[in-house]
Structure 1
Amino acid sequence: MQKQRLISPFAPYSRRRTSNVIRLGLASFTRSDVYHFLLTLSWLNFLLLVSVVFLATNALFGLLYLCGGDCLANARSGSFLDSFFFSVHTIATVGYGSIYPKTDYANWIVTLESLVGIVGTAMITGLVFARFSLPTARVLFSKVAVISPYNGIPTLMFRTANERHNLIVEAQIGVTLVHNETTNEGHFMRRFYDLELVRKRSPVFALSWTVMHPIDASSPLYNATPESLQAEDAQLVISLTGIDETVSQTIHASHIFTADEILWDVRFVDILSLTENGFRRVDYRRFHDVEPVGLSNK
């Protein structure tokens, strides 16, 4: 009997995003996606897009003024530049006054352009404010996760740190193991298993947090090996949420560890120490460093 292959909506789960997933039967872009698209553009691309729309709009109205013939006082006959710059003065409400409409046709175009200018200015102002006020997280994750003994139990560990000099209040972190499975009926699936953590909540996340999952008999990683994780295309999906104390808004951060980023029989070097004055010191230069189990931290 030929095995039936059922593809989960999450398979394959890319390393950082699902852009390599081919989605059939869904609209690629809708009107409701425009706002999301404008918020997620980089600042450079956003400013370039605004500039192109501004120039194109004024060029269009400049052509409309040209179509009206000699409808602008003090403008050179047939001059696109005069019509274009008059459009810029109108839509930006500059109003230098050297060129002005002298026909009903020109006044109606000015009325329409003024309306477009008011609406456009309001929309761009709202987008700029939304982009500035969008809450973002600066959370650092270690480049690798490690599996090493902790209190005699093999334990999965990775580090995360708050890169800002403030607090993330009520921080919560979740770790999910994602890997391929084939059922007894021969169905291929991408399965998700939540991992139990030693501590999944931090009331105040300020410096560094080592997240730990003990690999006991109840763990989905029990009896796992580097080879089995590679064969199953295993990934650890990390999700962190909390409240930024500065803006009092919820922030999100995520990360993915692939199977080759999970190191065995090594541990993270110690980055916490005390100065002679009694201050705590965190050496983020060694945040990603690991050493074989059995060596003393230096």
Structure 2
Amino acid sequence: MGADRTPSSSKSSARFIGRDGQVVMIERIGIERARFSDLYHRFLTVRWRWWLLGVVLGYVLLNASFALAYLALPECIEGARPGHFGDAFAFSVQTFSTIGYGAMSPAGMYANTIVTLEAIVGLLYQALVTGLAFAKFARPTARVMFTDKVCITTHEGKRALMVRMANERANQVVEATLSLTLLVDTVTSEGGHMRKLRELKLVRPSTPVFSLSWTAIHLIDEESPLHGETRESLEAKSAQLLATFVGTDDTFNQVVHARSAWSVDDFAWDHHYADIILFREDGERVVDYRRFHQLVPDDAPREARPRAS
């Protein structure tokens, strides 16, 4: 491996996968985006603030539409001011939500028909929103924190690549597994371009219990896809490292997963991670996550039992 000792570089590598493991910067041609046929998936994956905004906007638009339907026939709402949109909208909200204060009521066949239709739409809308909210809340997620940098260092006298992660929840993930994949651009013998995925073998690819932190180690030996590679050669191949974590959440008893990705610019050569497991004077261990992303040069002195401050 190369001996560039700086944790970062001013050069930028093309990112095909973002830091969260999602594919980015890829334009899809020839496939029509399903804007309305896949709304369930869209509502489950959209951020909560946009989800709530969509629910509120849908509620307001539906009630405004029914209010305009009431205004189409003057004096169809008893107790409301004729032609007043505010009264019609308030009556629509009461009908839509099945509140019914009694101050306003439908008058005539036309109003009763609209009220019946709105009551049905209101029940369906509330049931749909409730179901989507429950499905969104019930989605199992893993709060796994990955380090900002990937370390290229020396471990047990051998060159190694290291990735560290931590469980941000105060629970346990059992039967956790991790895979590291190197993505590189290659040219076939026929001259064709391919994006190849090469698995990096880990010293310990699984752990029975993941509760605090986990440092994954890949030894860069003769069988490693990284053997003989340098920063320049990896940049030429637009290399990226993808980490995929899978385990069973001990609280919900459901499978959770997490992903992260790094470009060559995120590789810290000849650096290792600062210790986060520290020792008090009485010998008690503590975990200091403030040091989670900190890097230390390989030639810096190391402590066998780092003291907690």
Same fold (TM over 0.5): yes
Partner of 1:224: 229
C-alpha separation in 1, matches of 2:266 and 2:49: 33
Cα distance change on mapping 1:19 and 1:216 into 2, 3 Å: closer
Give the one of 245, 248, 256 matched to 1:243. 248
Map 1:104-143 onto structure 2 (within 5 A): 104-143=109-148
Give the CA deviation at 1:32.
Answer: 4.1
Partner of 2:169: 164
Give the one of 181, 184, 195 matched to 1:179. 184
Partner of 2:281: 276
DSSP-derived class of the 2:226 partner = coil
Contact 2:18 2:24 in 1 (8 A): no
C-alpha separation in 2, matches of 1:43 and 1:220: 40
**Is the counterpart of residue 90 in structure 1 residue 90 in structure 2?**
no
Give the CA deviation at 1:151.
Answer: 1.9
C-alpha separation in 1, matches of 2:79 and 2:192: 77
Partner of 2:18: 15
Give the one of 102, 106, 110 matched to 1:101. 106
Which range moved further: 214-223 or 39-48? 39-48
C-alpha separation in 1, matches of 2:292 and 2:15: 30
Give the partner amino acid of 1:221: L
Give the CA deviation at 1:165.
Answer: 0.9
Give the partner amino acid of 2:186: E
Contact 2:153 2:269 in 1 (8 A): yes
C-alpha separation in 1, matches of 2:78 and 2:297: 82
Give the CA deviation at 1:275.
Answer: 2.4
Give the CA deviation at 1:143.
Answer: 0.9
Superimposed CA distance per residue, residues 28-55 of structure 1 (whole angstroms, 9 cap, x where no aligned partner): 1244421121122222222221111111
Cα distance change on mapping 1:102 and 1:15 into 2, 3 Å: closer
Superimposed CA distance per residue, residues 223-274 of structure 1 (whole angstroms, 9 cap, x where no aligned partner): 1111111111111000001111111111111110111111222222222223
Cα distance change on mapping 1:266 and 1:167 into 2, 3 Å: same
**Is the counterpart of residue 63 in structure 1 residue 84 in structure 2?**
no
**Is the counterpart of residue 264 in structure 1 residue 291 in structure 2?**
no
Give the CA deviation at 1:12.
Answer: 6.6
Question: Which sections of structure 2, spanning at least 5 residues, go unmatched?
Answer: 1-13, 304-309
Two-structure CA RMSD over aligned residues (Å): 1.5
DSSP-derived class of the 2:70 partner = helix
Superimposed CA distance per residue, residues 45-101 of structure 1 (whole angstroms, 9 cap, x where no aligned partner): 222211111111111101111112222112212222211111111001110111111
Which range moved further: 204-213 or 241-250? 241-250
**Is the counterpart of residue 196 in structure 1 residue 237 in structure 2?**
no
DSSP-derived class of the 2:30 partner = coil
**Is the counterpart of residue 51 in structure 1 residue 65 in structure 2?**
no
C-alpha separation in 2, matches of 1:148 and 1:72: 77
C-alpha separation in 2, matches of 1:297 and 1:117: 66
Which range moved further: 76-85 or 105-114? 76-85
Partner of 1:72: 77
Q: Which has the higher contact order (CA 8 A, sep 6+)?
A: 2
Superimposed CA distance per residue, residues 8-37 of structure 1 (whole angstroms, 9 cap, x where no aligned partner): xxx972334323211111121244421121
Question: Which sections of structure 1, spanning at least 5 residues, go unmatched?
Answer: 1-10
C-alpha separation in 2, matches of 1:247 and 1:41: 22
TM-score after normalising by structure 2: 0.89
Contact 1:156 1:212 in 2 (8 A): yes
Give the one of 40, 61, 83 matched to 1:35. 40
Contact 2:200 2:218 in 1 (8 A): yes
C-alpha separation in 2, matches of 1:267 and 1:25: 45
